[in-house]
Structure 1
Amino acid sequence: MDERYITAMVLSGVGDAMGFKGGRWEFNHNGEDIHEDLKQLGGIQKLHVKLMDWPVSDDTVLHIATAKALCTNKPIGDTLYMEFAHKYREGSLDMDGRSPGTTTMPNIGRFKLSDPKGYMVPFNARGVGCGAAMRAMCIGLRYPKPEQLKDLMTVAVESGRMTHNCPTGYLGSLASALFTSYAVQDKPIREWGVGLMDTLPKALNYIKEAGREVAENKLNWSYFTEQWTAYLQNRGLTDGQSDPTFPEPYGIKERDAFYKSVSFSGWGGASGHDAPMIAYDAFLGASDSWEELCHRGMIHGGDNDSTGVMAGCWYGVMHGFQGVPKINYKDLEYRDVLTDLGKELYKLTQKD
C-alpha cells in the first residue's frame, strides 16, 4: 500500500502534465486534433514526460500544497485550514506558465494569513470551476477508511470552499477525495457513484451545522446532485451493482461530444461536477489499461489536465505502475516531491 500511495501521487502529476502539455492540449477543444498530435509523437508508449515540453500545471502545484498541509498532521479545524491557506499562497508563487485558474488565484490572494479564520472567502455562485476538485485527491489518501468519512468530508468541503465557495465547486473536491478513498479501499469502481450520492446529503447536513451561508448553499445545492443523478442513470449505475453501459461507437469524437454535454459551459471537465465525472467515466471504461485511460481521461477536447490529474491518481492507487511506460513518469517534474508526499501520507494513515 505504501507503494500505491507513491504511485498515486506520481501518476496524478503524469495525468496532469500529459493533459496539459504546456497549455497546448489543455486549451485545444478538439480531441481529434490532440490525438493526431499524439500519433505524431509515437503514442502514449513514446511520451517522455519531462520539462520543458511537459510541465505540470497549477493542478499539481496545488495538489502538492494540499498534501504538504495534510502532512503537518494539524488537527481538523481552523489550524489545519490556515495551513492550507499558507501552502496555497506559497503554491501561488509557482504559477509561471502553468495556466492557473481565474477563480482560484484571486481567492488565494484574499486570504488573511494573520487572521485565525483568514481562510474564509465570500460565497460566490459563480465559483463552480474544477479548481477545488483537482487538488483534493490526497485528502482521500489521508482519510481513506470508511470510518473516516466525516473527516474526509469536512476537510474536502472546507479546503474546497476556500477558493470555490459554491456547492458545484467544493462538492467536486468531495467527489475527488471520496473516490480516492474508495480506490484505497479497493471498492468496486461501479459502486463509487452511488457512494457519492449517499454522501451528498451528509455534506448538506454538515453545511447546515457549520452555519456559514446556509441559505446561499441550499439555493445552489441541487445542480451537482442533478447532474450526477443524470450521469449515473445514463451509465446504468444507479444501483451500483451493474457494469456501466457505454454507447457504440464511443470513440474520440463521441467522447468529446459527451464530455461537452455534461459540462457547465461547453468545456468538459472545467467545473466541479464534471471534472470528477469525466475522470470517473474514463476510469470505468479503461479497466486496468493505462493507455486506454490516457486516451479517455487525459487526451480529449476538454479540461484534460484536470480530469487527468484525478484519473491518474486513481489508477496509481489501484494498479501501481502496472502497464505504465517508465518514460511517462521517470523524469516527471516534481516527481521526488510527489514521491515523498506519498510516503508521508501513508505513514500518517498508520498512526490513526
Structure 2
Amino acid sequence: MTNTCTYKKTHTQAPTHPHTHTHTHTHTHTHTTHTHRYKAAMLLGGAADAIGFYKGTWEFEISGDKIHQEVKKMGGIGALNVKKPQWIVSDDTVMHLATAEAIIEYGKSRSGDIKKLYQMVAKHYHVSMHDMNGRSPGITCTHGVSQLKPNRPDGYMIPFNDKGGGCGGAMRSMCIGMYYPKPEQIDSLVALSIECGRMTHNHPTGYLGSLASALFTHYAVQGKPAHCWGAGLMETLELAWEYVKKEGRDVDKNQLHWNYFKNAWADYLKVRGLTDGKSPPKFPDVYGVLERDKFYKKVSYSGWGGSSGHDAPMIAYDAFLGSGDSWEELSNRAFFHGGDSDSTAIIAATWFGIMYGTKGVPAGNYQNLEYKDRLEDAGSKIFDLVEYLFS
C-alpha cells in the first residue's frame, strides 16, 4: 500500500497547524519520552472525557456557546480541578480502559492467537458494564455487550445492526494504535480495530470509526504530520474492505452501508483541502464557537455532532488540526461544543498526549482525575509490550 504521507523515519515531526500555532515539534526517540507519551495519552484522554462529560451536563448540552460561557465563569480550562464527585469519567474512558487492559492481559499471555485477544476484549467489555453508574453508557454499547459471550470461541461476534452507526466503537479504540504503532503492523491494526468496534457497533459507520481513532493514534506515535492522516485513512479503508470480505460476515449488508463513512470523510477532506494529504488544512476565516457548532452539526448523521462513528473522529481531527500544541485551543474545539463532547474530547486528547505529552496542560486538569493511576498504568504497560519495536 502506498502511503500518501511519506516521511523519513530519522526525522519525524509533529503536525504543523494553521493560525497562531504553527511550529514544528521534533520527537526525541528516547524510551522515557515514549513511556511518558503513552501514559499521557491514556491519562489526558480520560481527563478530557471527564471535562467534556461534566457529569452529563455538557455531553447533552446542545449549545456550545452556553458551555463556553459556563467554562469562562469557572475561570477557564486552566482553573478546572478535575476530580470526583463533580468530575467523573464517562462510559468512554471505562470502555477505553477495558480495551487497553484486555490488550495488556493478552500481551502478557504471549498467546499469539488473535481470537484469544478478541475474547479477552469481549470479557473486559462485559466487566466494564458493572462500572456505568452515572456514566451515561450508550444504548448500542450496552445492548451489544449484552450479546457477547466471552467464554465461547466466537462469542465476540454479534448480529449485524442497521442502527449500529454510533460512536461507541470510536471512543474506545485509540490504544489499539499504541499497541500496533509501526507501519508494517497496519493489517493487525485494521483487524483488531474492526473486531473491537463491531463487538457493539456491527455496522460500517460504527466500526470504521473504531478504525479511524486507532489509525490516527498509530500515525501520531510515528510522528506523521496530522494533515496527511485523513488521506491515509482513505487508503486504509481499502484494506478494511478487503478484511471484511475475507472474514465473510454479513458481506452484503456491510457493502450496502459501506459508502456512508467513506463519502462523509471524502467530503470533509475536500472541504479542508486535505484530499491529497500534502498541504495544511484550510479553515474558514471566522471559525468560532457558533461556526464550529454549525459545522459539527452539518457533518453529523442526525444533528448531534460527534455521536456517530464517522464524525466523532472527524470532529476530533478537525479540532486537533486547528489547535497545534495548545491544550486550551483543543479544549475549545473538541471538549466544549453542542455535540457529543466527551467522545470527541477523549479521542482528540489521546492524540494530543501521544504528540505532546502533558506539555502545557494545567496539572489540575489531570492530577486528581478518577482512575488516574489505572490510566497511566495502562499506558505504561502497553508501552512495555511494544518497547522492543522502538529500540
Q: TM-score range by the shorter chain?
A: over 0.9
Q: Whole-Å Cα distance in 2 between the matches of residues 339 and 105 of structure 1?
A: 26
Q: Whole-Å Cα distance in 1 between the matches of residues 281 and 150 of structure 2?
A: 46
User: Aligned to 2:131, what secondary structure does the other structure show?
Assistant: coil
**Aligned match of 2:367 in 322, 326, 330?**
330
> Residue type matched to 1:6 in 2?
K
Q: Whole-Å Cα distance in 2 between the matches of residues 80 and 323 of structure 1?
A: 36
Pairing 1:11–2:44 present? yes
Deviation, structure 1 residue 258: 0.1
Deviation, structure 1 residue 113: 2.9
Aligned residue number for residue 106 of structure 1:
143
Aligned residue number for residue 247 of structure 2:
210
Q: Whole-Å Cα distance in 2 between the matches of residues 78 and 201 of structure 1?
A: 23
Q: Whole-Å Cα distance in 1 between the matches of residues 234 and 126 of structure 2?
A: 32
Deviation, structure 1 residue 107: 1.1
1:4-153 matches, cutoff 5 A? 4-72=37-105, 73=107, 74-153=111-190
**TM-aligned CA distance change 1:244 to 1:109, over 3 Å:** same
List gaps (5 residues or longer) in structure 2.
1-33
> Residue type matched to 1:49 in 2?
V
Aligned residue number for residue 27 of structure 2:
none
User: Aligned to 2:346, what secondary structure does the other structure show?
Assistant: helix
Deviation, structure 1 residue 119: 1.2
Alignment coverage as a number of residue pairs: 352
**1:78-134 C-alpha deviation (Å, 9 max, x unpaired):** 211110111001000000000001100011011123321111100012100000000
Q: Which moved more, 1:209-218 or 1:107-116?
A: 107-116
Q: Whole-Å Cα distance in 2 between the matches of residues 100 and 323 of structure 1?
A: 31
> Residue type matched to 2:213 in 1?
S
Pairing 1:2–2:39 present? no
**Aligned match of 2:275 in 227, 231, 238?**
238
Q: Whole-Å Cα distance in 2 between the matches of residues 97 and 249 of structure 1?
A: 37
Residues 119 and 151, structure 2, Cα contact 8 Å, conserved in 1: no
Residues 76 and 155, structure 1, Cα contact 8 Å, conserved in 2: no
**Aligned match of 1:339 in 376, 382, 386?**
376
Pairing 1:197–2:262 present? no
**1:141-184 C-alpha deviation (Å, 9 max, x unpaired):** 00010000011110000111010000000000000000001000
Q: Whole-Å Cα distance in 2 between the matches of residues 35 and 158 of structure 1?
A: 37
- RMSD over aligned Cα atoms: 0.8
Identity of aligned residues (%): 55
Residues 120 and 150, structure 2, Cα contact 8 Å, conserved in 1: no
1:140-179 matches, cutoff 5 A? 140-179=177-216
1:213-292 matches, cutoff 5 A? 213-292=250-329
> Residue type matched to 1:33 in 2?
K
Residues 52 and 335, structure 2, Cα contact 8 Å, conserved in 1: yes
Q: Whole-Å Cα distance in 1 between the matches of residues 56 and 173 of structure 2?
A: 22
User: Aligned to 1:103, what secondary structure does the other structure show?
Assistant: helix
Deviation, structure 1 residue 15: 1.1
- Runs of 4+ with >4 A deviation: none
Q: Which moved more, 1:114-123 or 1:12-21?
A: 114-123
> Residue type matched to 2:297 in 1?
K
Q: Whole-Å Cα distance in 1 between the matches of residues 388 and 183 of structure 2?
A: 16
Residues 61 and 339, structure 2, Cα contact 8 Å, conserved in 1: yes
Q: Whole-Å Cα distance in 2 between the matches of residues 113 and 59 of structure 1?
A: 21
Q: Whole-Å Cα distance in 2 between the matches of residues 206 and 328 of structure 1?
A: 40
Q: Whole-Å Cα distance in 2 between the matches of residues 186 and 119 of structure 1?
A: 33
Deviation, structure 1 residue 77: 2.6
Q: Whole-Å Cα distance in 2 between the matches of residues 69 and 125 of structure 1?
A: 27
User: Aligned to 1:17, what secondary structure does the other structure show?
Assistant: helix
Aligned residue number for residue 358 of structure 2:
321
Deviation, structure 1 residue 351: 4.2
User: Aligned to 1:139, what secondary structure does the other structure show?
Assistant: helix
Residues 175 and 276, structure 1, Cα contact 8 Å, conserved in 2: yes
> Residue type matched to 1:199 in 2?
T
Q: Whole-Å Cα distance in 1 between the matches of residues 388 and 102 of structure 2?
A: 17
Q: Whole-Å Cα distance in 2 between the matches of residues 105 and 350 of structure 1?
A: 34
> Residue type matched to 1:59 in 2?
D
Deviation, structure 1 residue 76: 4.9
Q: Whole-Å Cα distance in 2 between the matches of residues 39 and 103 of structure 1?
A: 34
Residues 85 and 113, structure 1, Cα contact 8 Å, conserved in 2: yes
> Residue type matched to 1:68 in 2?
E
